Amino acid sequence: KMAEKQEEPSNAQNGEADNAEEGEGKKKKLKREDLPPFEIVTGERLPAIFFKFQFRNVEYSSGRNKTFLCYVLETQGKEPVTSRGYLEDEHAAAHAEIAFFNTILPKCESSLRYNVTWYVSSSPCVTCADRITETLKKNKNLRLTIMVGRLFMWEEPEMQAALKNMKSAGCKLRIMKPQDFEYVWQNFVEQEEGEEAKAFVPWEDIQENFKYYEEKLAEIL
C-alpha cells in the first residue's frame, strides 16, 4: 500500500509534462527528474476533499499531519511576474515550507523584490520556522506573509521562540479568516469541470476557531 502511494505523485508529474507546450515541456521535464517524489507540479489545483479536511481550522487536528502550502509569488522587476501554485509534503521527505525555498524560489536575485504570500493549513514546525528565519535574514529583498489555518504545537516553548524569531526576521504571520479560506477555495481548489464554481461553504465553527487561534498567536508574539 505504501509503495503504491509513493508512486502516485510521480506518475501525475510525468503525465503533466506531455501536454505542456513543447519547449516548456522539455525544460520542465529536465528539472522535474531531480525533484523529490512528493513534489507537486505547480499551477495545479488541490482536490476539494484535501482542502476541506486539511485546511479546517479545528483545534484537534488528528490525522492532519500533512502541510498544504498554496503560494502567490510576485516578482517585482522591470517586468513584474506573478506565479501561483501549491505544494504538499510527504513527511518522509522535505516539508512543504522547505520545498518552497528549495524548488520554487531557490535563489533571490538581489536586483529584484519578492512578495510572497503563503496560505498554509498549519503553522510551520520548528525546523521550517528556523529555515524561514534564516532565509529572510539573508534576503532583505524578500517579503513573506504566512496565513495559517491552525497553529502547530503552539504550547511548546521552543515553538513559541521559533515563531517570535520569524516575526523579528520580518515575517508576517496571520491566522486565516473565513475570507482567506474562501480565497484559497476560489483560487487553489479544483472545481468540478463544466460546473459553475461551487461557492465556498464555511464550516460552523470557522469564525470561533479563527478568533481562538488569533488570541493565541497574539499572546505568543
**CATH code for the domain in which residue 134 is found:** 3.40.140.10
Take residue 15 and report the three cell numbers written for it: 503525465
Do the domain assignments include residue 9? no
Neighbouring-strand partners of residue 83: 73
CA distance 34 to 199: 38
Do the domain assignments include residue 112? yes
Residue 145: closest CA among 184, 101, 114? 114
Do the domain assignments include residue 135? yes
Do the domain assignments include residue 86? yes
Max CA pair span of the chain: 52
What does the pLDDT profile of the chain (221 residues) look like in tens digits? 444 433 334 333 333 333 334 444 444 343 444 444 444 444 477 777 667 666 666 655 554 456 788 999 999 988 889 998 888 775 446 788 998 998 889 989 989 999 999 999 889 999 999 999 999 999 999 999 999 999 989 999 999 999 999 999 999 999 999 999 999 988 888 876 655 667 888 888 999 999 999 999 999 99
Take residue 209 and report the three cell numbers written for it: 476557531
What pLDDT score was predicted for residue 24? 42
Number of domains the chain contains: 1
CA distance 175 to 189: 19
Take residue 214 and report the three cell numbers written for it: 488569533
Do the domain assignments include residue 26? no
What pLDDT score was predicted for residue 92? 47
CA distance 111 to 217: 34
Domain residues for the domain of 148 are: 41-190+199-220
Exactly one of 22, 33, 97, 214 is catalytic; which is it?
A: 97
Do the domain assignments include residue 177? yes
What pLDDT score was predicted for residue 14? 36
Does residue 97 carry a catalytic annotation? yes
Do the domain assignments include residue 10? no
CA distance 220 to 119: 20
Do the domain assignments include residue 36? no
